[in-house]
Structure 1
Amino acid sequence: MSLYGVLRSGVSGMNAQSNKLGTVAENIQNSSTTGYKRASTEFSSLILPSSEGNYNSGSVTSRVRYTIADQGPIAYTTSGSDLAISGNGFFVVADPSGSPYLTRAGNFVKDGRTGNLINAAGFTLMGYKLGAGAVDPSLNSLDGVEPVNMASFGMQATGSTAGTFKGNLPFGQAVAVAPGVPTPPDSVLLEAPAISTGAQIEFTVGGVTERFTVTTQKNLTEVVAAINTTYGADITATDVSGDLVLTSTAGTAVAGSFTSVSKASSLQVYDKVGNPIKIDIALSKIDADTWSISVFNGSDPTKPLTGSTTMNLNFDANGKLDGSGVLSFNIPGGEAFNLDMSGMTQLAGEYNVTGSSNGNAPSAVKDVEFAADGTVYAVYEDGTRVGAYRIPLATVPSPDNLSPRAGNVYETTAASGGYQVGFPEMSGFGSIASGALEGSNVDIGTELTAMIEAQTSYTANSKVFQTGSELLDVLMNLKR
């Protein structure tokens, strides 16, 4: 056996254990680093050819591996922008030059200069923008991702386009249609009509049926004036001691009825620039299984709603609505609006309805919320939530073969394979928890044990080197 081989083996062993001590030191230093993945040193023997009578000492090689695929413990924090991945996947982040990286470090905060969400290492969280200009992500590419920046969502208004009006209409409600009392030969008397928005006066004269709907009129006097202005060529309306009398101008027979409002409600919507508009909703029971619903502009009656503003709701014997129950009309200065009433019932209970609509008034972003599926919501001062971005998760076929870089980020390598992109809670990907961080997967006890082992092996290899050096000195002194 060559003395040089002994020296080489001792040095090789010390170098290998030095590498191990280096990874142990790095692990201990980063035991509190968010999303850090433990490094370990693995050894492999390097055997040189030897003969029976002469052993040729080899050496040992070392290789550093990272347990990137191992989940770290999740701890909850007080910051809503702290994000932790539970399961498979990495956040996609970018450095200041725009180069993409992968990370599990989700300690993001808003950067005051750019408005981007950045983590403690200065990397920017990337996501896909929702709404207008949204892109469809590729399964194997990060094309289309952009910095998650909430500054562009400040102070905006959204016009209402859809709403719901649902609940129960009481089965025992009295029918609101009151037939007029004929006053032969040419008039009809409607007894003390209850004037309110949505009430209807229907009359037939000369074989023609007309319907007058109360909109801006507040009392019987105004109703009389409006009828005479609109239908004065055929009929004359008068107020007789609080009753409405309709008289034919041609002396022909007149029949009529008055439909009062059984129930009334309202719904607030918004036009394109965020002006609030109150939609008045009038409900009248016109027979045992039918209600009439009408909608009006309650904010400004001089700007009436256009489109389909009236319809009948028909209920079956079980109190369920027949038909779609969708009323479509146009909001003045706003969008086409669909009011969905498919959730209406007519049961033996009280009048109990609820309503909602989309859209919002001009409002500033006060907060950001993150959903488990990766959707980022801009939360406005009025409580409105708007989906702004969706955060993707990316992974690779072999995460442990990713290449670590400064800042607790990783790059893909030939051994790790290329990107696979998806969204949280999709098959093969984990979920995102807001207000939480994934800790390091380093165990201090394990590292201290590894340190003692490396120290012992380093000392033993140094003794090998020292002994070989002494033998070499003896050999050299033989010459003297």
Structure 2
Amino acid sequence: MSLYGVLRSGVSGMNAQSNKLGTVAENIQNSSTTGYKRASTEFSSLILPSSEGNYNSGSVTSRVRYTIGDQGPIAYTSSGSDLAISGNGFFVVSDPSGSPYLTRAGNFVVDGRSGNLVNAAGFTLMGYKLGTGMAGPSLNSLDGVVPVNMSSFAMQASGSTQGTFKGNLPYSASIATAAGTSTAADPLAVPPVSGAVRFPATNMTQGETVKFRVGGGPEQTFVVTTQKTVAALAADINAAVTAGTLSGVNASVSPTGELVLTSTDPLSATDVTGTYTSVTKSSSLQVYDKVGNPIKVDITLSKVSDTRWTITVANGTDPTDPLTGTTTMNLDFDADGQIIAPAVLNFNIPGGEPFALDMSGMTQLAGEYNVTGSSNGNAPSAVKDVEFAADGTVYAVYEDGTRVGAYRIPLATVPSPDNLNPRAGNVYEPTAASGGYQVGFPETSGFGSIASGALEGSNVDIGTELTAMIEAQTSYTANSKVFQTGSELLDVLMNLKR
């Protein structure tokens, strides 16, 4: 064994232990860094060819590895924009030049200049903007991700387009339909008329209906759109006859205060028959037009048979500006009290969008009247907060309490996370050894979930690092002794020449 080999071994050992001390120092100083992953130094021997009688000293090589795939402890904070990943995956972030990176550091805040969500290292959180037709991420690409920016959602309104109205209609409710009572014609009337019908109506309310038929003609319907007296109802029916939407009758009020429809057919004796349907139950639902004006939609329900109810909607905010489209329909129930399709009412909101009211959740059971309703859309309001869901959806929370889905945050990973290349700012980029991106949404396809108001801490254990520091110090000292001894022997050898 040559003295040069001894010197080489000592230097190699000192360099290796120096690398180990470097990773220990880095771990200790980053023990409080959000999302930091511990580095370690692994050694491997380098053996040189030797003969049976002569040993040729080799050396040791070192390689730094990171435990990037290990979960760190999660601690909860007071900031709702702090995000932690529980399970597999990394946040996708970008630097100021737009280059993408991966990180577990989720200490995001809103940047006052750009409105973007950035973490403590200045990297911008990336996500998919909802409402842009993006069905889902590319499985192996980050195409389509944009900075999560909440400033574009400030002070905006959206018109209502859909809503639900569901609950139970009482099976025991009384049937609200009554046939009109036929009366004799006035023999002195000029021109002569043959018949009339009297309805048991007093003060009318929105949603009540008057249906009548003149002779063998078609059934005609008049829907009450707002509360009114019988005299006002008679005047409205006569106005509708004048306008041509109704025909063949003249409306009046009997001495006892009932609505009377009399045939105006001058050519033949024609009877008038009909029914009057009163309101059984009523509710209302608030919707919004295109600019965010609130409009109250009055909903009335009338039981017309053992298995049928009618539902009628009207503009409760301004009865002079009625809803258009289909404003009334039948709700039919089977013997089990379950609704029979179709159960969607399509009408138009004044100044707004076409609106679909889904009533597929209605039942008719032996219980109380108990209904709930909801609709989309919102009035003009400023964003006051940002809310994050476990599935990665980012909601803009407005001052009026409305929550609107703005973005959805993807998670990305690689086949071998421990082989990612660490970069400044606690971010990582893929390498040939790590493999390419695999992208998905939280809580799907093996990806973890996102916890709001929490941060993932460093996975460094100080006790372990101090132990490793002592080991590296001891080995470094021992290797320095080998080098020192080899140097002294070399000096002795050189002195022999003199």
TM-score of the two chains, using structure 1 as the length reference: 0.96
| 1-structure distance, mates of 2:171, 2:55 | 103
User: 1:53, 1:315 → 2: CA distance?
Assistant: 101
| Aligned CA distance change for structure 1 residues 144 and 184 (closer, same or farther; 3 Å) | same
- The residue aligned with 2:98 is 98
Answering whether residue 125 of structure 2 is matched by residue 125 of structure 1, we say yes
- The answer to whether the 8 A contact 1:184-1:253 is kept is no
More off after superposition, 116-125 vs 428-437: 428-437
Asked whether the equivalents of residues 84 and 456 of structure 2 are also in contact (C-alpha less than 8 Å), the reply is yes
Counterpart AA for 1:109? V
Amino acid at match of 1:238: S
Letter of the aligned partner of 2:222 in structure 1? Answer: F
Residue 232 of structure 2, aligned match among 222, 225, 248? 222
Q: In the TM superposition, what is the alpha-carbon distance from 1:287 to its structure 2 partner?
A: 1.8
- Quick one: distance in 1 between partners of 2:274 and 2:203? 15
Question: 2:248 maps to what in 1?
Answer: 234
Question: Is 2:198–2:259's contact at 8 Å kept on the other side of the alignment?
Answer: yes
Matched residue SS, 2:360:
coil
Higher alpha-carbon deviation: 294-303 or 468-477: 468-477
- Give the whole-Å Cα distance in 2 for the aligned partners of 1:253 and 1:56: 124
5+ residue gaps in structure 1?
A: none
Q: Which of 311, 335, 338 is residue 317 of structure 1 equivalent to?
A: 335
* 1:255-270 correspondence to structure 2 within 5 Å: 255-270=273-288
For 2:379, the equivalent position in structure 1 comes to: 361
CA distance in 1, matches of 2:477, 2:100: 43
Deviation readout 1:56-96 (Å, 9 max, x if unpaired)? 22211111111111111111111111111111111111111
Q: Aligned partners of 1:18, 1:435: CA distance in 2, in Å?
A: 39
**Match in the other structure for 1:297:** 315
1:370 aligns with 2:384: no
Q: Which residue of 2 aligns with 1:350?
A: 368
Structure 1 residues 136 and 166, CA gap change in structure 2 (3 angstroms): closer
Q: Contact 2:203/2:227 (CA < 8 Å) preserved in 1?
A: no
Q: Runs of 4+ in structure 1 displaced over 6 angstroms? A: none
Look up the equivalent residue of 2:235 and give its one-letter code.
Answer: A
Question: Does residue 284 of structure 1 match 2:302?
Answer: yes
Given that residues 203 and 228 in structure 2 are in contact (C-alpha distance below 8 angstroms), is that contact kept between their aligned partners in structure 1?
no
Measure how far apart 1:461 and its partner are: 0.8
- Helix, strand or coil for the counterpart of 2:102? strand
- 1:200 and 2:209 matched: yes
Q: Check the 8 A contact 1:193/1:260 in 2, yes or no.
A: no
Partner of 2:189: none
User: After superposition, what is the alpha-carbon deviation per residue over 1:363-401, rounded to whole angstroms, capped at 9, x for unaligned?
Assistant: 111111111111111111222221111111111111111
TM-aligned CA deviation for residue 216 of structure 1 = 4.0
Q: 1:181: how far off?
A: 2.4
Q: Distance in 2 between matches of 1:331 and 1:200?
A: 22
Match of 1:470 among 488, 491, 494: 488
Instruction: Give the Å deviation of 1:9.
Output: 1.3
Q: Offset at 1:220?
A: 1.7
Indicate if the aligned counterparts of 2:38 and 2:67 stay in contact, CA closer than 8 A.
yes
Matches within 5 A, 1:98-117: 98-117=98-117
RMSD over aligned Cα atoms? 1.7
The answer (yes or no) to whether the contact 2:158–2:290 under 8 Å persists in 1 is yes
Match of 2:241, as an amino acid?
Y
Residue in structure 2 matched with residue 183 of structure 1 by the alignment = 183
What residue identity is the alignment partner of 1:387?
Answer: G
Partner of 2:261: 246
Structure 1 residue 330 displacement after superposition: 1.3
Q: Contact 1:153 / 1:365 at 8 angstroms: preserved in 2?
A: yes
SS at 1:346 equivalent: strand
What is the CA–CA distance in structure 2 between the aligned matches of 1:456 and 1:476, rounded to whole Å? 30
Structure 2 residue 83 is the aligned partner of structure 1 residue 69: no
* Counterparts of 2:419 and 2:78, CA distance in 1: 34
The CA deviation at 1:193 is: 2.7
Find the counterpart in structure 1 of residue 428 from structure 2. 410
* 1:81 and 1:107 in contact (8 A); partners too: yes
Q: Percent identity?
A: 79
* Pairs within 5 Å for 1:155-174: 155-174=155-174
2:3 maps to amino acid:
L
TM-fit CA distance, 1:467: 1.3
* SS of 1:455 mapped into structure 2: helix
- Matched-pair contact (CA < 8 Å) for 1:217–1:223: no
**Against the structure 1 CA distance between its residues 238 and 59, is the aligned structure 2 distance closer, same or farther, given a 3 Å change threshold?**
same
One-letter amino acid of the counterpart of residue 385, structure 2: D
Partner of 1:4: 4
8 A Cα contact 1:135 1:144, kept in partner: no
The Cα shift of 1:357 comes to 0.9
1:26 CA displacement: 0.6
The answer as to 2:449 corresponding to 1:431 is yes
Which segments of 5 or more consecutive residues in structure 2 lack a partner in the other structure? 186-194
Deviation readout 1:187-230 (Å, 9 max, x if unpaired): 22223434011111222334333222212462122112112222
Which amino acid in structure 1 is aligned with residue 261 of structure 2?
L
**Equivalent position of 2:191 in the other structure:** none
Deviation at 1:135, TM superposition (A): 6.5
- Does structure 1 conserve the Cα–Cα contact (< 8 Å) formed by 2:283 and 2:299? yes
The whole-number CA distance in structure 1 between the counterparts of 2:390 and 2:122 is: 24
1:255-276 per-position Cα deviation (integer Å, ceiling 9, x unaligned): 2332111111111111111111
Post-superposition offset of 1:413: 1.2
The alignment partner of 1:5 has SS state of helix
